[in-house]
Amino acid sequence: MTITDIQNQIKATSARAVVENSIKLARENEQYHAILNLTEERALKLADEVDAGKITGKLAGVPFLVKDNFLAFGAPTTAASKMLEKFDAPLQATAVEKLEAEGAICIGKTNLDAFAHGGSTENSAYGPTKNAYDQSRVSGGSSGGSAVFTALNVVPFALGSDTGGSIRQPASFNGVIGIKPTYGMVSRYGVIAMASSTDTIGAFATNVSDVEMVMDIMSGLDPRDMTTMSDFFQVKTDAKPGQKIGLIKDFMTDDVDSDVRAKVNEYVEKLRAAGHTVEEVSLPMAEYALAIYYIIVPAEISSNLARFDGIRYGHRAESVKTLAELYGRTRDEGFVTENKRRIMIGSYVLSSGFFDAYYLQAQKARTLLINEFNKLFASYDLLIGPVAPTTAFKLGENTSDPIKMYLEDIMTVPASLAGLPAISVPAGFSQTGLPIGVQFIGPRQSDADLLALARSMETK
Amino acid sequence: MLTDEILEKYEMTVGIECHVQLATDTKLFSGADNDERDKSPNSVVSPIDYGLPGMLPVLNRGAVDLAIRAGKALNGKIAPISRFDRKHYFYPDLPKGYQTTQMYSPIIGAGVVHVALEGGELIDVRINHAHLEEDAGKLTHYGTYSLVDLNRAGTPLIEIVSEPDIHSALGAKAYATELYHLMTYAGVTRGDLYHGNMRFDVNVSAALKGSDKLGTRAEVKNLNSFRSVERATEYEFRHQVELLERGEKIVQETRGWDDAKQKTSSQRNKEDSQDYRYMPDADIPPIILSDEEITKIQADVPRLPGEWRKILGDLGLEYSQIETLIYAENEYRGKVAILDMVESVISDPAKAKFIANWNVNVFIPLLREDDFNLTNIDYFKLELTICELIEQNKLSSTNAKILFRELASADSLPDVENYAKEKGYLQVSDEDEIIKIVDEVLNNPSAVKAVEDLREGNDKAIGFLVGQVMRKSGGKANPVLAQKLIRERIK
């Protein structure tokens, strides 16, 4: 289902009918547990205003979903945590505001790993989201709910955040398109911070044009986020012909599912058939990307989660006797195990005596990784490879082994660390019928080029 | 019991960290009002200062500009690239769980402050660096509970860190005072000490003289007056000497100053000092400054106290007069520009000296009188006119003061000379008129002895005769002229 389909339905019936239908679909698919809270009352009110002509815009009346780590009205913003179970946001994220300014209507808040820590939504304090193609499997994550309900056509598009793969991997697991834009393209204002230096805001949709439209609306300089850049995103009519593409061979080793490799290779053949050149390239620093990521990101997480202390908002432990107990119990009760694990790793790598050995070393290695990317982009328009080493795994399969879970991120974290745009594009299905995505990674600000290429390949 | 003899054996070493609240309109990273004085609790707090989830800091460029000005006052180099870091600890007055500060790349590099001690001796206190950071909120404890006020959370500060170059309590006080002058003259802070606009942490250590090692230091935190800086430093030094004399060890610790008891006491020692887990703040891009930008901003900094001391000294003013002016400039800043008046006639040293002296001897004492209120008149114009009338022998210094005091309270300034004339304050410089009075005085029997004395060469008597002429003229006669005419008559 595309945005255009929805717009036609609105013309034929009304915005209210379309929004009601989306909400009905959301309810009918409750078993996937993709949504934490619907924003029904507010959505219907806005739909009536669209029907009354009071709200106009490019997306007037088009329903969408928001990952529940975006501050948005209509229901609590929980970050899928007990910490913020009853937290009503007093303002909205820039991304949400921009979409609403074009008339789009948020109908609910989607499930995620609590505070976006994870790759399966199994770390949600409210239970996992199930895969759109197999309910015994994970949705991927952390933006699992948004991916699943986009795949199930509940809405034409949904918002997510991607810090190390949280949009791309669930997009791959559920057969939809997902984009992690260039760092700084979309404002992070109003999105609950995970890792400030790699957090990005992106979207899921079932076709490239819809992704382009949504990103075009959300992108641009925001005076409330100093890391945003002036708007460079401009939708390209056509993909550049005869592109030179590097296939990252470090991501095509025997450790990667053969089905995944097969589908990526098929996609490579299609690219060649379309007149592009694809060569194998090597990204040796990719081997260290996961280690770098799991030092820098927990460090930033431990800092960004420090504000959840039970003093001003959110959960506060009861019948405590001392301030230390208030902090300890509040944070123990409000965070899930994975949150605590990352806070502890982060606090450790930042502590005096370890900062130089871990954090600073990781930052230096990160620079080497960026240099390696830059070198490749001197010769190649973009790089491709798998999004994840596997298809969607079974619920509970990796929960007892955090390292195995972290390994799922191995192909998505390099682009995050380097601030590069990367998209996940459906590339077919495994022999067991599970979706597989292919990842495009481009130089900074090449977001529109990546999408144009993906669009040119949609019918091939 | 500590005797002077014992104290003499030890060298005091002091380094000072000073937090200066910047005079920006808004906070360091939010648009909330930066002036929390007389505001009800938690009324000037934005979602950013409140540490709401999803909020991001937006650096206030005004604070950067003030830091650049401060850099000039501290003779410190402004870093072409500086960055913000996060300092983590949990406390209810710290909404984000970290303070945004500059740990690794501060905006102001090494500098030096020239401090005038009482009597005019200058010492140099080197500045290690100064950095930008945000203030925390305030906690008030009430028995079983505490209340948080975040009005001050996010207020921009610069922290000025000195080298341990101070070796006396008076030196510590003088340095603190000089920082106050520098920061207020440069327009960096409002300088409201009562509201904690400047707060000092004093690091004190004691070691036997001649020792090549510094003693273990204790830090006395949060002093907000120059006097408390002096007293706390002196107290802490004596306290340490006492311990050392008893053979005890000094522990590195943080101590507080009790102003009522005039004592320091331990707050926490090094063992429970925190690990702040500093890390770069990825939400704030580096501050990148060009030389041109820095030069342009620093060009707006007015003359600083050091320069004024030199100028006023060259004009012939004494140390105490100079310091009176330096203080008064701050005391009456925003009300009346004491040194600006001197600045306006700086190219004419005679007038500049007159104005400077007039301010010291007449205007500042008047300002300090309880029942005196400044009006909107142009005080500089008034002083300058009086200066010119005196130069032209039209006004005696006695009448000048009377005239000034009358007009200083006027709602508007009349034509000063006309006013003085009408009030009869101008001197009579008409020889014919004065000779009449001289003759009257000389013919009076009471003058006989003085005239004789004068003829016999006792020149002191002239004073008496001139005084008589002045009195008879109602103070209006030009005394110089009167003296000349008396001498002519007696010859």
Token representation of residue B262 = 């005039």
Nearest alpha-carbon partner for A260 in A387, A359, A444, A408: A387
The pLDDT value given to residue B397: 85
Our CA-based measurement puts residue B26 at a distance from the nearest CA of chain A, in whole angstroms, of 15
Residue A119 in contact with residue A165, Cβ under 8 Å?
A: yes
Nearest neighbour of A299 by CB, restricted to B56, B279, B285:
B279
**Closest to A306 (Cβ–Cβ): which among B88, B278, B282?**
B88
Eight-state DSSP code of residue A306 = G
pLDDT exceeds cutoff 70 at A283:
yes
Prediction ipTM score: 0.96
Q: Which of A36, A52, A32 is nearest to A44 (CA)?
A: A52
Look up residue B363 and give its DSSP letter.
I
Across the interface, of B86, B96, B283, the residue whose CB is closest to A227 is B283
The CA distance from B120 to B312, in Å, is: 13
Closest by CA position to A145, among listed A178, A111, A195, A189: A111
- Domain extent, residue A115, equals 3-218
**Could B92 and A311 be called an inter-chain contact, meaning their C-beta atoms sit closer than 8 Å?**
yes
Tokens representing A294? 């799991």
Nearest residue on chain B to A190, alpha-carbon basis? B54
Which residue in A79, A309, A351 is closest to B277 by CB distance? A351
- Per DSSP, the three-state class of A413 is helix
Q: Is A394 on the interface with B (CB under 8 A)?
A: no
Q: Which residue has the higher pLDDT, A347 or B263?
A: A347
Instruction: Encode B90-120: b = buried (16+ Cβ within 10 Å), e = exposed.
Output: bbbbbbbbbbbbbbebbbbbebebebbeeee
Q: Per-domain residue ranges for chain B? A: 4-291, 300-422, 431-490
**What are the tokens at B491?**
């010859």
Q: Mutate which of B52, B58, B139, B149 to disrupt the A interface (most A C-beta within 10 Å)? A: B52
Q: What is the DSSP letter of B160?
A: E
pLDDT of residue B272: 63
First to last CA, chain B: 74
Judge contact between A435 and A169, C-beta under 8 A: no
Q: Are strands A277-281 and A244-248 parallel, antiparallel or unpaired?
A: parallel
Give, in order, the Cα–Cα distances in Å from B29 to each of A312, B297, B402: 19, 21, 53
pLDDT in tens, chain B (491 residues): 788 899 999 999 999 999 999 999 999 999 999 998 889 999 999 999 999 999 999 999 999 999 999 999 999 999 999 999 999 999 999 999 999 999 999 999 999 999 988 777 889 999 999 999 999 999 999 988 999 999 999 999 999 999 999 999 999 999 999 999 999 999 999 999 989 999 999 999 999 998 888 899 999 999 999 999 999 999 999 999 999 999 999 988 899 898 888 888 888 766 567 899 999 999 999 999 999 999 999 999 999 999 999 999 999 999 889 999 999 998 898 899 899 999 999 999 999 999 999 999 999 999 999 999 999 999 999 999 999 999 888 888 888 999 999 999 999 999 999 999 888 888 877 778 888 888 888 888 888 888 888 888 888 888 888 888 888 887 778 888 888 888 888 77
Block residue for tokens 């759109």 = A132
Nearest to residue A313, comparing CAs of A24, A49, A74, A85? A85
Is residue B177 exposed (0-12), middle (13-18) or buried (19+ Cβ within 10 Å)?
buried
Quick one: average pLDDT of A408-419? 96
Best of B277, B278, B281, B287 to substitute, by most chain A Cβ atoms within 10 angstroms, is B277
Whether B70 and B297 have beta carbons less than 8 Å apart is answered as no
Asked if the structure places residue A346 within a domain, the reply is no
Contact yes or no for A65/A35 (Cβ under 8 A): yes
Say if residues A99 and A214 touch (Cβ distance below 8 Å). yes
Shortest Cα–Cα distance, A435 to chain B (Å): 33
Q: CB-based burial of residue B433 (10 Å sphere; 0-12 exposed, 13-18 middle, 19+ buried)? A: middle
Name the pairing type of β-strands A382-386 and A244-248: parallel
Is residue B156 within 8 Å of residue B63, measured between CB atoms?
yes
Does A39 fall in a domain? yes
Q: What is the pLDDT of residue B448?
A: 83
**A355/B contact by beta carbon, under 8 A:** yes
* A232 belongs to a structural domain: no
Backbone dihedral region for residue B451 (phi beyond 0: left; psi -120 to 50: alpha; all else: beta): alpha
Within 8 A of A83 by CB-CB distance, chain B residues are none
Please indicate, yes or no, if residue A36 is contained in any of the structural domains: yes
Beta-ladder partners of B18? B160, B200
Judged by CB atoms closer than 8 Å, whether chains meet at B53 and A307 is answered as yes
Q: Find the catalytic residue in A81, A146, A166, A219.
A: A166
pTM of the shown model = 0.91
What are the chain A neighbours of B277 within 8 Å (beta carbons)?
302-303, 347, 350-352, 355
In a domain, A423, yes or no: no
Mean pLDDT of A172-180: 98
Distance of CA A93 to the CA centre of its chain: 15
Asked if residue A438 belongs to a domain, the reply is no
Query: Could you tell me if residue A7 is inside a domain?
Result: yes
| A323 contact residues in B (CB cutoff 8 A) | 92
Among B53, B215, B80, which residue's Cα sits nearest to residue A77?
A: B53
For tokens 């007037």, name the residue: A60
Question: What integer is the mean pLDDT of A310-339?
Answer: 97
Best residue in B26, B28, B283, B287 to probe A by mutation, most A CBs within 10 Å? B283
Q: How far is CA B128 from CA A299, B109, B111, B157, in A?
A: 29, 7, 7, 17
Query: Which of A85, A309, A332 is best to mutate for the B interface (most B CBs within 10 A)?
Result: A309
Tokens 């008396």 -> residue: B486
Q: How far is CA B295 from CA B69, B72, B299, in A?
A: 10, 10, 6
Rg of the Cα atoms in chain A: 21
Chain A, residues 177-206, CB within 8 A of chain B, namely 188-193, 195-197
Window 74-113 of A: residues touching B by CB (8 A cutoff) are 77, 79, 84, 87, 89-91, 93
Domain tally for chain A? 1
Which is nearest to A280 in space by CA: A244, A239, A241?
A: A244
Alpha helices (H) along B144-289: 169-185, 226-245
- A67 assigned to active site: yes
Of B90, B275, B285, the CB nearest to A327: B90
- Note if the bond before B205 is cis, omega within 30 degrees: no
A-contacting residues in B 258-317 (Cβ below 8 Å): 275, 277-279, 281-285
Q: For A425, list phi and psi in degrees, rounded to 5.
A: -120, 135
CATH code assigned at A211: 3.90.1300.10
Residues B431-490, CATH architecture: Orthogonal Bundle (1.10)
Residue A129 lies in a domain: yes
Residue A254 CB contacts under 8 Å (≥ 6 apart), including other chains: none
- How far is the alpha carbon of B43 from chain A, nearest alpha carbon, in Å? 15
> Number of CB pairs < 8 Å for A and B?
94
Instruction: Let me know the angle formed at the C-alpha of A422 by A410 and A159, rounded to the nearest 5 degrees.
Output: 100
* Residue A66: band (very low, low, confident or very high) from pLDDT cuts 50, 70, 90: very high
Q: State the catalytic residue, choosing from A142, A416, A430, A456.
A: A142
Residues of A in contact with B137 (CB under 8 A): none
Q: Is the dihedral of CA A61, A66, A72, A74 positive or negative?
A: positive
Cα–Cα distance between A368 and A374 in angstroms, integer? Answer: 10
Cβ–Cβ contact A345 with B under 8 A: no
Q: CB A352 to CB B277 under 8 A? A: yes
Please give the Cα distance from A69 to A188 (Å, whole number): 11
Torsions phi, psi for A278 (to 5 deg): -125, 125
Between CA B433 and CA A263 the distance in angstroms is 120
Judged by a CB distance cut-off of 8 A, whether residue B103 touches chain A is no
- Contact call for B86 and A190, based on CB within 8 A: no
Is A139 noted as a catalytic residue in this protein? no
pLDDT of residue B270: 61
Query: Which of B51, B58, B285 lies at the smallest CB-CB distance from A307?
Result: B51
Check if the beta carbon of residue A373 is closer than 8 Å to that of residue A418.
Answer: yes
